[in-house]
Structure 1
Amino acid sequence: MKIFISADIEGTAGINHWDETIHGHADWPEYRALMTAEVLAACDGARAAGATEIVIKDAHDSGRNLLVERLPDDVRIVRNWSGHPDGMMFGLDESFSAAIYTGYHAKAGTEDNPLAHSFNLKISRLLLNGEVASEFTVNALCAGLYGVPSAFLAGDAGICADARAMVPGMGTVETLFGAGPASNSIAPARSCRLIRDGVEAALTGGAGGIPSTEGPWEVVVEFVNPVNAYQSRWYPGAREHGPRAVALEAREFFDIMRALRFIKG
């Protein structure tokens, strides 16, 4: 069994402030260690369920967050950004049995996490076929293009609820919830234990599934600043959608991912 892990940081247990997410900031080393611990817990759970191969995508910001010296010798890690439209799922293909997500966070425009966003802070909302979408939304559909089910997610309460709604039966661990700039989190040690057990249970029990990737698709990217909307509408096929947004239509979801690679900046 071959397992893919997409690892983010803003849904890691204990996290609260942007300073804790920024490569090189004084607060970052503590939280990259917590991010790494949750990934290691997911690896332990996957191995207990029978995984023989594990590939990890360091999927936050620089793509250079995980403490690689702590990784077990039976995993591979994808660091930095290739420029491929798969983005946070780069390295995934049809040979994988399941996708797992750690450190995931609520979508832009919600209050479930003080660090809620969708890909970057330029975007105020991202919509797919009229529904507000998260990074998980895009990434689970990306996995679906390869026929890979999304089995488990750890992150804040908002993204866990969204994941269960999109992929019924998916295993989740709620690490924290937001209240304005504050967060209420479980202890990192408890988070790691729950992730380890949750991943094993999800993979053993066949949890999760594959959302439909059938088109047609429309993506709308609403920006905070109209300058970004002006710049992004020059992507082939993109059109103005109000003063701060661009829209694009496609039959295939991969074309949406390719457009987002350039439009979202």
Structure 2
Amino acid sequence: MRRMIILECADDKLTGTLDEAAGETGLLIVSGGNEIRSGAHSGQAQCAAQIAAYGHPVLRYDRRGIGDSEGVNGGFLSSAADIAAAIAAFRREVPAVRRIIAFGNCDAAAALALYHDGQLDGLILANPWVIERQDDDDVMDSPAPPSAAAIRARYWERIKNPRSLIDLFTGKIDLKKLLGGLAKATQKDAPSGLAIQMAAQLSVINVPVRLLLAKRDTTAMAFMGAWNSDVFAAVRGHPNICLSSTDSASHSFADDAAKTWLLEQILQEIGSEGGT
């Protein structure tokens, strides 16, 4: 059964949706950017229903200032209290739950990495956001400048395309611009302050963490640039952390193959408790 619940966060009331099931391991879904709890194209609502069918209760919620919730939207870096409120409400509403695994995509993944604070039994972090902006734009509302990793991938795809050689020889491609782009693509992005904070938190985590990436998503490419840097060396060698990827460009895993892969990955992490 699916029902709405109210979460208390400081002086504000947040709205959540609980998909009930009998299992002792629950999934907490944290929305990224300014997305409401149903997710892009209702993807999170569909995922919740599927996970519940496998025997796991699932809680989704709108953080402060988003959707049906009260308060001011302070962005993902101000969401520690929202996450804590959701965990407390989950345990209150479903007292049979003994373990809570949290899933977040994009800046929600970053928020969970930063603010899990020992309250969760595992993290599933998809396409984690490691790009810092120079303004106050929300990460989901305007595109970030492409990382060097994304630029390299783009130029590699063009170089592999025989049509690009024809366009180059016929003058349709600006050689000067191409050389400038290739020079930029060879540069390595210095890890952002956000990436450094995330690495510091993950390097000492004592619960399982599953990192999930859509290979051709630009946010995932930026994360891989950070992942392969010295800053993440301790994280790469951490026994509790694993990284998997699927060949998709969809940031929200919206294509059928990516959607199926994501569901399988979540179920592997939380385990099946006798559903369909």
| TM-score grouping bracket, smaller chain normalisation | 0.3 to 0.5
TM-score, structure 1 as length reference: 0.39
Larger helix proportion, structure 1 or 2?
A: 2
Larger strand proportion, structure 1 or 2?
A: 1
TM-score, structure 2 as length reference: 0.38
Higher relative contact order (CA 8 A, sep 6+): 1
State which structure, 1 or 2, has the greater radius of gyration over its C-alpha atoms: 2
